[in-house]
Chains A and B, each alone.
Chain A
Amino acid sequence: MTEVISYAYAVARDAGGSLTEALAGLPGVADAPVHLVRAGERGDVVVAVSPVPEEDFHEAALRANLEDLEWLESVARAHHRVIEALASRTTVLPLRLATVYLDDERVRRMLEARQEAFAGRLAELAAHTEWGVKIYVEAPAPTDRPAPPPADADAGLSPGRAYLSHRKAQRHAREDAYRDAEEVARRVEAAARGHAVDRVQHRVQQGELARGPGENVVNDAYLVPLGQAERFRADVSRAAEGLSGVRVEVTGPWAPYSFATPPETEPVPGAAP
């Protein structure tokens, strides 16, 4: 017998009462159907919830599972699927991955306690979407195997000198590319000032999951009003024009994951500075 507990995805406003329909047939985490928890009869702020096996989500299991990339990916994609389904109909406050309650009644009580704060943030985020902007430097990294230098250019140099000369040229190319990337970042920020209302800076993407080509040097999220989205996207996409070693990648629109908590609010009161 498998005990189930309640996995909470997001808070949303179900003004038209259409969210249940949006979630119909949509598999959530662990392929379970997703439903809505309400605080009261007239409350239109709801939490999207689905049952998950307790054995996978109690503290020790969760700690281990979150280290398992395959498990993490399946939960992350299911979580995102639900967020997207909701976001296609309404404003959504995504919850942090793996927010779990013992049962729906506990979710309802949480919602009851925080309803006003949720409603306030939902109102602020209405008609805004999140856009990701990543800047990549595409010049060769210093550790990359240098291409064999053209024979004539290094004619007369000893192999050691030729190597150093090549490394120096490579380093200069890379420094130029970083300078260009800074220029692109300034252009992105200028474009964003005209269109975006908030920004969050994520850590640059590195390692196995990072997808190049190139080195990610900026990984920001911008909150953009719907009416400005196309111009934002167009202006930002143009930021690397004329600079060959730098690439800008725009992702979105996203539900406002990076902006779910307002900047001035501490999630944990009294947290150490």
Chain B
Amino acid sequence: MRPAGGPPATTDEPLPDRQIALIDLLDRLLSGGVVLTGDVVLSIADIDLVRISLRALIVSISEHNPSPWSALAPSVRDDHDG
């Protein structure tokens, strides 16, 4: 077994000098990026499915750890949904 993402990150080292944590990368590669419908049609919904089942591996959402942030400032991004 190898560690998931190399040595622990510190805030002081410049990024190129260390291995990027896989989880930080997956946050960006699986929910960021331009979504195009390529020829192999994994629809956006399918990608979400991938994320959900991956999360089953990556994530263990625990009932005693509800997000303490519900009261925090709303997402900058979500304001347009009105």
Contact = CB atoms under 8 A, between A and B. Distances in A.
B18 to A, nearest CB: 10
A11 B47 CA distance: 20
Say whether chain B's binding surface is mostly helix, strand, loop, or mixed.
Answer: loop
**Interface size class of chain A, counting residues whose CB lies under 8 Å from the partner chain:** 35 or more
A171 to B, nearest CB: 11
B39 interface: yes
Contact of B77 (A250, A263, A268): A263
Contact of B42 (A63, A106, A114, A249): A63
B41 A59 contact: yes
Say whether chain A's binding surface is mostly helix, strand, loop, or mixed: mixed
A67 B50 contact: yes
Contact of B72 (A59, A72, A182): A182
B77 A248 contact: no
Interface string A197-218: 0111111111111110001011
B32 A94 contact: yes
Interface string B3-24: 0110011010001000011111
Given A80-B29, A264-B80, 20 more contacts: A8-B38, A76-B22, A76-B29, A94-B29, A94-B33, A95-B35, A99-B33, A141-B64, A178-B68, A182-B71, A201-B75, A205-B23, A205-B27, A206-B60, A207-B57, A207-B60, A258-B28, A258-B31, A260-B32, A263-B77
